A and B are shown apart, each in its own frame.
Chain A
Amino acid sequence: MNGVHDMGGMHGFGKVEREPGEPVFHASWEGRVLAMNRAMGYLGLWSIDTGRFSRETLPPHVYLSSSYYKKWTLGLENLCVQFGLVGDDELAAGRALHPPRPVKRTLAAADAPKLLSRGSFDRPAPAPAKFKPGDRVRTRNINPPSHTRLPRYARGHSGVVEWVRGCHVFPDAVVNGEGENPHWLYTVVFDGRELWGAAADPTVKVSIEAWEPYLELA
């Protein structure tokens, strides 16, 4: 979706502000909500990209004015309601009012160390890779209202395949309920002037990771 989360190339947000001696969490609730997101993800009801989409679909003014972990809180609440785990009435009451929905698994403390290692998103390839390093490709001009990982600034542009990264779970399909539908994933590099025009810094190159359906031969 063409949401405010897709920030590459936007103006007006100001300088990058660093915080010397920044703590890992600025309040204890931030840690709780991070950990709850991980633990609820372990239930296996939704994927990492479904979680991303739950934040992307927050109203734009909420997305832009909420801290990072507030977005994680709102996104998790929405997922819990959407998947029938928690009722709006329970969120309002601040306690459980209904029996739980049966789930396949939950994260026991003894299993928590497993969550520190990332899972693999590489899958067996259903077909040979269409592109190889050195191929000149063009990103498609797509504007789906659903989840995609092709940023707006990189649509409809010509670049070069630099690496083939394997055949990976396709986020656009997962979030649409179409299963993992794995596709080849490529690192595609663009000249800064191709993305930003003739006045752009000629020393800049930008790459994205692009699944095969995002690309066509240039």
Chain B
Amino acid sequence: MNVHQHDPHDEHDHGSELSDMQLRVRALETILTEKGYVDPKALDFIIDAYETKIGPHIGARVVAKAWADPDFKRRLIADATTAIGELGLPARSTHLIAVENTPRLHNMVVCTLCSCYPWDVLGLPPVWYKSAPYRSRTVMDPRGVLADFGVSLPPDTEIRVWDSTAETRYLVVPMRPAGADDWSEEQLASLVTRDCMIGTGLARAPGAAS
């Protein structure tokens, strides 16, 4: 009585481990559903929310607003949970902390112990964020990690790494690129990449915006 539809897309997954996992997870869902512990429709809702509603576009909107509205930025840095609460976003944030990059300071976020990440504003983390290379190296060699992302900072820029060891979550407010002075918030949001809100990237230059 597995109620969710078999997804033909899965047949295209590579390798036997994924097929094994498909069977294994389907078996677990069957058991949990038959025993009444989970409602597959609730699962569908959660999956859809993270696939279509909650993602880095939310954080980009927050950063663009901070760039465009100095008063909002002050409130965001002082108390991000409250400041973001004003925006009516789909997921309420809790224990959220915004940290601002400046010409002298670059912030990076990691979770060395697991994969803590600000889901409310960035959605689910990419595979690299959860990977052993990122988790092991960022606290010890952040410039080396930045090089993997093609980012090179001036040698005297201070780098601050935030290891997310508690339920506090960090959002990096990147520097606003030059050349977008008269841009609207919506236009500015197009310059804000997911990586620049984790600290492994910089905001796009206006000419490079996609």
Contact = CB atoms under 8 A, between A and B. Distances in A.
A184 to B, nearest CB: 11
A173 B46 CA distance: 30
A85 B34 CA distance: 12
B169 to A, nearest CB: 8
A27 B163 contact: no
B87 interface: no
B117 to A, nearest CB: 11
B42 A109 contact: yes
Interface residues of B, number: 87
A35 B31 contact: no
A68 B114 CA distance: 10
A27 B13 CA distance: 7
A32 to B, nearest CB: 5
B207 interface: no
Interface in B12-66: 13, 17-18, 21-32, 34-39, 41-47, 49-51, 54-55
A215 interface: no
A203 B75 CA distance: 28
A18 B137 CA distance: 15
B149 to A, nearest CB: 7
B116 to A, nearest CB: 9
B121 to A, nearest CB: 11
A90 interface: yes
Contact of A149 (B27, B141, B166): B166
A31 B139 contact: no
Interface of A: 5-11, 13-19, 22, 24-29, 31-36, 38-40, 43, 48, 52, 55, 64, 67-70, 73, 76-77, 80, 85-86, 90-91, 94-96, 99-100, 103, 106-109, 111-113, 115-122, 149-151, 153-154, 165-166, 168-169, 185, 187, 189, 192, 195-196, 200-201, 203-211
